[in-house]
Amino acid sequence: MARVLNRAVILLGVLLTATACLPVTSKSPIGTTAGYKADPRLTGVWKVDSREASGYFAFFPQADGSTRVVLLEPSSPGDKGGWMVFDVHTATLGADRYMDASELEEDGKPPGQKLAHMPVLYRFGADGSLALYLMDEDAAKAAIKTGGIAGMVKPGQFGDVVLTATPAALDAYVQSPAGHALFKKPTEILERVKP
């Protein structure tokens, strides 16, 4: 995991910053009050190509209604690349679609520091693109500090954020204007790879 956290690589459509901060995670999965239903529009291979990173996301629907997501960072000169596998559940809350993403594997091994229950808002663009939004870390810290949502900021230089709200409270909060505002801007925009 250290290799992944020490460079900007793709994490479910979200780039970890060079500061090695983890994305906002939650003790509770997002979307449980609405019920999970696989989104067939995600199925297939998507590409991200930005200044920060490039790679591919393959979304595979599973028989249990979840989606398996394989992230591939191609090798480049001086870097062997890598891959990660996530278990994703999708749900509709209000007018928006969310993913609850949990890491299963990194480069063929169990992750050193498992990322569980990452809330990801996603939207499809008119051009067919897929925009992924993570919670803004500073906005989440402020919401915790003011009592908007239950959570904790871990000690240390970067103070990773973990939401501790119940599933019902988390789902209700992200549908409120204050909760919706935590997803400030797309972290990454993906383009579908045509077969």
Over residues 8-58, the pLDDT tens digits come to: 334 444 444 333 457 899 999 999 999 999 999 999 999 986 766 678 999
pLDDT at 9: 38
Predicted confidence (pLDDT) at residue 72 exceeds the cutoff of 70: yes
Residue 163 scores a pLDDT above 70:
yes
**The pLDDT of residue 106:** 86
Contact 149, 137 (CB under 8 A): no
Token representation of residue 16? 């970890």
Higher model confidence: residue 105 or residue 171? 171
Quote the mean pLDDT of the chain: 85
Q: Is 167 helix (H, G, I), strand (E, B) or coil?
A: helix
End-to-end CA separation in angstroms for the chain: 32
Q: What is the mean pLDDT of residues 178-189?
A: 92
Other beta carbons within 10 Å of 163: 25
Q: How confident is the model at residue 134 (pLDDT cuts 50, 70, 90)?
A: very high
Q: In terms of Cα–Cα distance, which of 157, 192, 160 is closest to 23? A: 160
- Taking the model in full, what pTM does it have? 0.85
The residue with greater pLDDT, 116 or 86, is 86
pLDDT of amino acid 157: 59
Question: Rounded CA gap, 116 and 28, in Å?
Answer: 9
What are the pLDDT digits (tens) for 88-104?
Answer: 999 999 999 999 999 99
Pick 7 or 14 by higher pLDDT: 14
